[in-house]
Amino acid sequence: MRVLWFHLMPYPDLPDDFRDKHRSVWVDLDSGLLDPEVVAASYDAYLDQLVFAEECGFDGLCVNEHHSNGYGLMPSPNLMASILANRTSRAAVVVLGNSVALYNPPTRVAEEMAMLDLLSKGRLVAGFPVGTAMDTAYAYGTNPGTLRAKYYEGIDLVLQAWTTPEPFAFNGRFTKQRWVNIWPRPMQQPHPPVWIPGGGSVETWDLCAERDFVYAALSYYGHLVGKESMDGFWATVEKAGKDDNPYRAGFLQFVGVADSDAEAYRLYREPAEYFFQRSLHFFPGFVDPPGYSSEASYRRKLTSSVRSAAMTTQARGGPTWDEMLERGYVIIGSPSTVRETLADVAKTLHVGHLMTLLHFGNMDDELARRNTELFGQKVLPELRQVWSGYTDHWWPANVD
């Protein structure tokens, strides 16, 4: 199994009464809460943590894109990835990713990712999320009714830009470009591996299964909710007549390691509560714009009791610490506890890429590093053995 270190880069200084005084961490968040000094210091610490993760043996370093929020401070993950490309030498640089429908033309994504692949000497994983409703429909004003069609078209354009040797004309529904001929081109040929971050929509399963992209399930509600999503994905893969190589999939999980279970319970409570009660404090009016979910996904949402329970809990103020643990949102414990649980999760979900969130919420730098170090030393080596019989065809060419 590949084990990756994922940074959300949250704003770490939302006030204690944030939930009471502010309706949302996203879209209409009060800019008066933002202290540029805090952001600048956080960027330094967060980038150092990612570099440290490579030193601790993690296989990949993940960054992602969000807008107008205090949940994640990366409107441009490519800026962060370019620094990582330069400061690291071994780990995959996993950009999860660029919301191609937001770029006009999406050719810009092809160009920047090509640059990142070259800067990292062929270590890029290219992720293409639809983007959250808050990012796409509200913060960027993109029509949710055509967002997904625009997104598919954007991916097509990027892949064609990477792989078509001659200048070509692109005549899409949304993008029309007479001359597409990007310079530079990616180092990896024919192109960097493509991963699609997803939250359980039926169309994303279809896209990944049909086009052999990695389905990277990004749920913050842990492996129990994730099981429903991953089962849906694997059923789609089977229906498409593809093999069940676990490296077709990735899964995101909050993890906290300490010397003992009791110590982990004490150490990780505050940052987890910060994340679920402040970083995930969305106004429900920004979650479900008409058209963001396709008809099929909307039908599925209506019948998903697991998802509905998670959303209900989030709406009433976020889960308690004990609920987070019971429901598997956060996996904590001694190295042996975490190792056994994660190995079991990987097998249950049948995932070959485990994306770990070892920094979350307002976790301080010291704890983030300790968590990373302990995981790297005492958890990661054994997890690597999981799925040893399979080949990862979705990994950058220049990373072991």
Partner 1 sequence: MSTEPTASPTGDRTLVYLPGLAGDPGSSPALAALEAEGWTVVRPLLPGFDGEAGFDCPDDYLGWLTALWDAVDATGVGPCPVVGASVGGMLAADLAVFRPELVTRLALLAPFGIFDPDHPGLDPYSVPTAKRLEPLFAEAVPEAFHHRFAAKGESEAPVARYLTDIAAASLIWPVGDQGLEGRLHRIRCPRLVLWGTDDQIIPAPTAASWGDHRLVDGAGHLLEWDRPDAVAALLLPFLSS
What residues from 1 to 60 belong to the interface with partner 1 (CB under 8 A)? 27
Tell me the C-alpha distance between 112 and 105, whole Å: 12
Residue 90 or 176: which CB sits closer to partner 1?
176
What is the smallest separation between the CB atom of 74 and partner 1, expressed in angstroms? 23
Three-state SS for 237? Answer: helix
What is the smallest separation between the CB atom of 282 and partner 1, expressed in angstroms? 11
Nearest to 113 by CA among 104, 124, 102: 124
State how far the alpha carbon of 46 is from the alpha carbons of 127, 132, 202, 361, in Å. Answer: 20, 23, 33, 12
Q: Decide if residue 168 touches partner 1 (CB under 8 A).
A: no
Task: Name beta bridge partners: 170.
Answer: 177
Q: Decide if residue 288 touches partner 1 (CB under 8 A).
A: yes
Tell me the C-alpha distance between 247 and 229, whole Å: 16
Three-state SS for 321? Answer: helix
As to burial, measured by CB atoms within 10 angstroms (0-12 exposed, 13-18 middle, 19+ buried), residue 315 is exposed
Residue 295 or 366: which CB sits closer to partner 1?
295
Tell me the C-alpha distance between 163 and 165, whole Å: 6
Any idea how long the chain is? 400
What is the smallest separation between the CB atom of 287 and partner 1, expressed in angstroms? 8
Residue 113 or 137: which CB sits closer to partner 1?
137
Three-state SS for 286? Answer: helix
Orientation angle between helical segments 36-55 and 77-87, nearest 10 degrees: 40
Q: Decide if residue 283 touches partner 1 (CB under 8 A).
A: yes
What is the smallest separation between the CB atom of 103 and partner 1, expressed in angstroms? 17
**Torsion (CA) 241, 246, 251, 257 in degrees, nearest 10:** 170
What residues from 136 to 155 belong to the interface with partner 1 (CB under 8 A)? 137-138, 141-146, 149
Residue 167 or 290: which CB sits closer to partner 1?
290
Task: Name beta bridge partners: 61.
Answer: 5, 93
Residue 15 or 284: which CB sits closer to partner 1?
284
Nearest to 247 by CA among 200, 215, 272, 218: 215
User: Number of residues in contact with partner 1, rule: CB under 8 A?
Assistant: 26
What is the smallest separation between the CB atom of 145 and partner 1, expressed in angstroms? 3
Three-state SS for 196? Answer: strand
Residue 31 or 303: which CB sits closer to partner 1?
303
Residue 62 or 137: which CB sits closer to partner 1?
137
Residue 147 or 214: which CB sits closer to partner 1?
147
The interface region with partner 1, picked from 116-124, 194-202, 297-305, 337-345 by CB under 8 A, is: 297-305
Contacting residue, 299, 308, 326, 347, with partner 1 by CB under 8 A: 299
Q: Decide if residue 280 touches partner 1 (CB under 8 A).
A: no
Contacting residue, 256, 289, 333, 396, with partner 1 by CB under 8 A: 289
Contacting residue, 290, 326, 344, 381, with partner 1 by CB under 8 A: 290
Tell me the C-alpha distance between 276 and 290, whole Å: 25
Residues contributing to the site for partner 1 (CB under 8 A): 27, 137-138, 141-146, 149, 173-174, 283-291, 293, 295, 298-299, 302
